Chains A and B, each alone.
Chain A
Amino acid sequence: MGRGRLSDAYTSGVYTPCTVLLMSIGHTLLGLLESGPRHGYDLKRTFDEKFGQDRPLHYGQVYSTMSRLLKNGLVEVDGVESEGGPERKRYAITDAGITDVSQWLAQPEKPEPYLQSTLYTKVVLALLTDRSAAGLLDTQRSAHLRMMRILTDRKRQGDLADQLICDHALFHLEADLRWLELTAARLDQLAKVVAP
């Protein structure tokens, strides 16, 4: 790979901080529905409490996400209440929705820096839904190592600029990996905190 293309691929990978979280709101809300049907408001509150630390969801986001999930058959309306006020829909996850969450959790994220928040969300959801968080971390670790191997190979064949560009990415990936290992070692502790 030439330097131009390599650095393009790298800068777009490294300097696009995590928009992944936005894209995974749907999966996260779906995962939260696995424990039972909920209203949109309840979903928002639980999401904010568990994942929203410094960026709570807007109601608009919740309702547009839910209508997309409804359209795709991943949730269904489980009941509607409208005591005086506006209509409140209660949503339930469908079998297709459960499969979708499983697939999302099983699929490693594309190894790139700054994805901790997505990974953290995945780990917590896996713990909450009784899936294998350790397995998820292992799969991610192996995807990271694979990417590091590719970069190391490029570094070996490239000039100094390639080497420095690859090294930068390698150090970031290494930092992620350390986080993965540390988290794997603390899963039991984390499980007690998130799903008491």
Chain B
Amino acid sequence: MIPEGSLLAAHDLRKTYGSTPALDGASFSVHPGEVVAVMGPSGSGKSTLLHCLAGIITPDSGTITYAGRELSAMSDAERSALRRSDFGFVFQFGQLVPELTCVENVALPLRLNGVKRKAAERTALEWMERLEVDDLGPQRPGEVSGGQGQRVAVARALAASPKVIFADEPTGALDSLNGERVMELLTEAARSANVAVVLVTHEARVAAYSDRDVTVRDGRARDLEHAV
């Protein structure tokens, strides 16, 4: 049931909150370096799917396989370690640690993986340069604009050389010019570093930066192009 060559694959996921079915038999897969857009109406289960795939929440049933390993077979500690080493995250807002400077924020995933401060901040600055925000290094998140903060977040997601980036409405709070620029930089960086991206968005122009799109409706994911 795991599509050949996929890095991350989910099969028949089900998740219920009380009596609300959030996922109802959703399947999904992404290949290394592939950018997949997850679209669908509000409340259809996109974020729930993303959180399951990233091992943040556990589905009631179904399987998720990452690089040949089943997530449900791992302990919580193993899953956290995997998230730190292999996954990067970008959300709509409020994700940077307000007490840290921007460069410290970007260096954080590296520091958590045991990289020394100097080396971590050097790598962080390189990523910030690629995202065109290297001059914001000493500022705190509260002192930068939404669009700048989002680029810092993308730099942070990429800094620890993840294999997969999970992005939930990464441009949701930005105007179209900034949103486009963030998408351009994110997908360019991801493609050149062979990072897969799972991109939740309801904006078609954002989804157009992907290689492929799936639509979630009533908790089920459908791949239209490959279904026909």
- On A, residues with C-beta under 8 Å from B are 138-139, 141-142, 144-146, 148-149, 151-152, 156, 170-171, 173-174, 177-178, 181, 185
Contacts and interface: CB of A to CB of B under 8 A. Distances in A.
Given A138-B224, A139-B228, A148 B41 contact: no
Given A145-B213, A185-B41, A152 B208 contact: yes
B208 A141 contact: no
A104 B205 CA distance: 28
Given A145-B213, A156-B184, A185-B41, A151 B208 contact: yes
B204 interface: yes
8 smallest beta-carbon distances between A and B, as pairs: A148-B208, A152-B208, A142-B224, A177-B204, A149-B208, A174-B204, A174-B205, A170-B205
Interface string B210-228: 1001010000000011001
B207 interface: yes
B93 interface: no
Nearest to B225: A142
A138 B41 CA distance: 13
B209 A152 contact: yes
Contacts of A144: 204
Given A138-B224, A156-B184, A185-B41, A145 B209 contact: no
B43 to A, nearest CB: 12
B225 A149 contact: no
Given A138-B224, A139-B228, A142-B224, A173 B204 contact: yes
B223 to A, nearest CB: 10
A145 B228 contact: no
Contacts of B209: 152
B225 A146 contact: yes
B208 A170 contact: yes
Interface string B183-210: 0100010000000000000011101111
Nearest to A176: B204
Given A138-B224, A139-B228, A156-B184, A145 B41 contact: no
A144 to B, nearest CB: 7
A148 B225 contact: no
Interface string B153-166: 00000000000000
A145 B204 contact: yes
A178 B204 CA distance: 9
B207 A145 contact: yes
24 contacts: A138-B215, A138-B224, A139-B224, A142-B213, A142-B224, A142-B225, A142-B228, A145-B204, A145-B207, A145-B213, A148-B204, A148-B205, A148-B207, A149-B208, A151-B208, A152-B205, A152-B208, A156-B188, A170-B205, A170-B208, A174-B203, A174-B204, A174-B205, A185-B41
B151 to A, nearest CB: 17
Of B188, B208, B209, the most chain A CB neighbours within 10 A belong to: B208
A178 B41 CA distance: 11
A170 to B, nearest CB: 6
Contacts of A152: 205, 208-209
